[in-house]
């Protein structure tokens, strides 16, 4: 009995002590308490689900989905990588992986993966794989029923390992087999550079992952030897990468000791300043930088820094607006978290972050920061620039919208299929700068489209149908019936007319698809530069020294106003 009362006394004491600690914890450190409380709740929920849920749960899947949802509620760049996904993280950071070096895509008719774009000088291209090859087996394992992601994982592996790949090539009866050795795949950082007309240099920089600054330096010095007098740096569709690489490339054109980027975060380690540390390569050569809505992160640092120091004219469209910096943090069991730790600020003091993830709409969605809420900053020369929306070009080029029919032709693989047939008939083609789709070629393409019984949505027909229904609902249809009949007659779906009307855009897409099969990414860039509005504007400003200088200076009226304050 005494033992019973002693145990009750001890239990009561523990409750009191626990409650006292609990209250002390809660009052002394409310935030720590909230974190501990919610972790305890989450732990309990998982245990209860595992014990009582009607079906057996997969703890890895269930908890992973919870983690992903939690991180995505913060921003899209904070991600969790378990031990088995470390290769994906490594590829992201280093822009390299162990594999065959090819993009694969899905063949909707055969419901199998196929080769879409082998990279130049990589295993897929070196062994002879061609665009359009249907992937049948890997080491005797049938790939039927596997999606692109699953096939991609099978193609990747440890560098130096080998496997047998069986493919079915269009135009051949029997499947082909290839012995492939996986190697470290480095995606092209500078897929193309050249000297354009009027001694204008051009460098296409695709990524800041890996070590692009070294390749960029070699390309620039090579162009200098060839006598260039100005330079275009193409950062369009460059999604960023390593901040240090952007700083290094900016240093080639800016004096030593200039602050290019400042990062500011919650902890001291996340706040830092990055300066040019070396002597530049060239402080005088006129520069133009091409950007678009897919230029992000490190690409915005380079473009923004050159704009803020009035060192380059920025041409194109407003950039993506990613001003968030991520670092990796090790987690238990070999996992890693890529976490947003700070925001970066370019020389004028502005942050290019365009989306406010902290303040969300009631439905949880986010949107761009309104122009009315942005703040004016100034470049070194005193030109006005704004924050909150990426980097706005000095010369904005209107982007022509692609025709609706082109989207469906690409989506239905008709351009891809035509290019495959074309390549079977043509072992070689002229160099990219001389290649063109002839009228006879286009007639063959139109025949293929018609034979495929191609159908596509015409937006005007949809809108007209909705308008007609609304007019009937509101009682206007009877009076406007003749007008509707006239419109319906003019807007009747006409495939022949659309293929002819949009032939220029369609021919360009066909040419790109064909050329990259012979000359890879470099060839497709050459083709796209033939009629490039952004490049035309860059060439125009670089060949007009007076206009170039004016654009990088403060307008006289603004300078007088500023001086009078």
The CA angle 543-544-550, to the nearest 5 degrees, is 140
**Helix 243-251 and helix 212-225, axial crossing angle in degrees, nearest 10:** 20
Taking alpha carbons only, the member of 82, 50, 58 closest to residue 68 is 82
Question: Please, are residues 374 and 387 in contact by the beta-carbon 8 Å criterion?
Answer: yes
521: helix, coil or strand? helix
Q: How far apart are CA 182 and CA 170, in angstroms?
A: 25
Reduced 3-state DSSP string for 357-425: CCCCCCCCCCCECCHHHCCEEECCCCCEEECCCCCCCCEECCCCCCCHHHHHHHHCCHHHHHHHHHHHH
Question: Please, are residues 544 and 198 in contact by the beta-carbon 8 Å criterion?
Answer: no
Helix (H) or strand (E) run with residue 21 in it: helix 2-28
Q: How far apart are CA 287 and CA 233, in angstroms?
A: 8
Question: Please, are residues 212 and 302 in contact by the beta-carbon 8 Å criterion?
Answer: no
Placement of tokens 């990468």 in the chain = 241
Reduced 3-state DSSP string for 313-364: EEEECCCCCCCEEEEEEECCCCCEEEEEEEEEECCCCCCCCCECCCCCCCCC
- Residue 487: CB partners within 8 Å, gap ≥ 6? 464
Q: How far apart are CA 263 and CA 261, in angstroms?
A: 7
Q: How far apart are CA 207 and CA 344, in angstroms?
A: 19
**Helix 59-72 and helix 30-52, axial crossing angle in degrees, nearest 10:** 150
- Which of the residues are catalytic? 297, 308, 322
Helix (H) or strand (E) run with residue 551 in it: helix 545-551
Helix (H) or strand (E) run with residue 123 in it: helix 123-127
Tokens, residue 354: 């365009």
368 secondary structure, DSSP code = B
Phi, psi dihedral angles at 515 (to 5 degrees): -60, -40
Question: Please, are residues 306 and 346 in contact by the beta-carbon 8 Å criterion?
Answer: no
Question: Please, are residues 313 and 552 in contact by the beta-carbon 8 Å criterion?
Answer: yes
Tokens, residue 41: 């709740």
How many CB atoms sit inside 10 A of residue 287's CB?
21
């Amino acid at each position: 009995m005494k033992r019973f009362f002693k145990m009750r006394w001890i239990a009561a004491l523990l409750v009191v002590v626990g409650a006292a600690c609990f209250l002390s914890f809660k009052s002394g450190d409310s935030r720590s308490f909230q974190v501990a409380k919610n972790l305890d709740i989450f732990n309990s929920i998982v245990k209860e689900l595992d014990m009582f849920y009607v079906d057996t749960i997969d703890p890895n899947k269930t908890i992973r989905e919870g983690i992903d949802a939690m991180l995505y509620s913060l921003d899209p760049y904070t991600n969790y990588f378990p031990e088995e996904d470390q290769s994906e993280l490594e590829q992201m950071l280093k822009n390299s992986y162990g594999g065959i070096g090819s993009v694969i895509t899905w063949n909707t008719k055969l419901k199998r993966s196929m080769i879409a774009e082998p990279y130049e000088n990589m295993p897929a291209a070196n062994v002879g794989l061609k665009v359009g090859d249907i992937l049948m087996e890997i080491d005797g394992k049938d790939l039927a029923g596997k999606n692109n992601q699953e096939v991609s994982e099978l193609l990747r592996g440890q560098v130096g390992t080998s496997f047998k790949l069986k493919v079915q090539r269009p135009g051949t009866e029997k499947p082909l087999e290839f012995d492939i050795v996986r190697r470290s795949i480095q995606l092209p950082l500078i897929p193309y550079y050249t000297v354009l007309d009027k001694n204008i240099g051009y460098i296409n920089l695709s990524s800041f992952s890996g070590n692009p600054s070294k390749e960029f330096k070699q390309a620039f010095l090579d162009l200098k030897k060839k006598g260039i007098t100005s330079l275009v740096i193409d950062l369009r569709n460059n999604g960023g990468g390593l901040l240090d690489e952007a700083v290094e490339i900016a240093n080639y054109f800016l004096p030593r000791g200039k602050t290019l980027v400042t990062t500011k975060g919650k902890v001291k380690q996340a706040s830092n300043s990055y300066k040019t540390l070396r002597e530049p390569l060239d402080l005088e050569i006129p520069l133009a930088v091409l950007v678009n809505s897919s230029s992000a992160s490190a690409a915005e640092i380079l473009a923004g820094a050159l704009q803020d120091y009035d060192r380059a004219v920025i041409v194109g469209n407003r950039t993506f607006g990613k001003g968030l910096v991520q670092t990796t943090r090790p987690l238990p069991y070999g996992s890693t978290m890529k976490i947003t730790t700070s925001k970066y600020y370019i020389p004028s003091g502005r942050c290019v972050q365009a989306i406010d993830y902290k303040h969300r709409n009631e439905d949880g969605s986010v949107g761009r920061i309104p122009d009315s809420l942005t703040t004016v900053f100034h470049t070194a020369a005193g030109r006005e620039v704004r924050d909150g929306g990426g980097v706005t070009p000095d010369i904005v080029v209107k982007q022509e919208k692609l025709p609706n029919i082109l989207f469906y032709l690409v989506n239905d693989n008709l351009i891809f299929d035509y290019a495959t047939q074309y390549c079977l008939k043509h072992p070689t083609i002229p160099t990219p700068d001389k290649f063109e789709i002839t009228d006879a070629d286009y007639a063959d393409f139109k025949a293929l489209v018609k034979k495929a019984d191609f159908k596509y949505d015409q937006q005007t027909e949809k809108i007209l149908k909705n308008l007609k229904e609304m007019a009937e609902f509101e009682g206007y249809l009877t009076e406007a019936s003749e007008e509707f009949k006239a419109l319906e007659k003019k807007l009747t779906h006409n495939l022949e007319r659309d293929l002819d009307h949009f032939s220029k855009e369609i021919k360009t897409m066909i040419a790109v698809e064909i050329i990259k099969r012979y000359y890879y990414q470099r060839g497709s860039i050459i083709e796209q530069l033939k009629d490039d509005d952004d490049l035309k504007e860059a060439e125009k400003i670089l060949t007009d020294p007076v206009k170039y200088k004016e654009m990088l200076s403060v307008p006289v009226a603004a300078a007088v106003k500023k001086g009078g304050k």
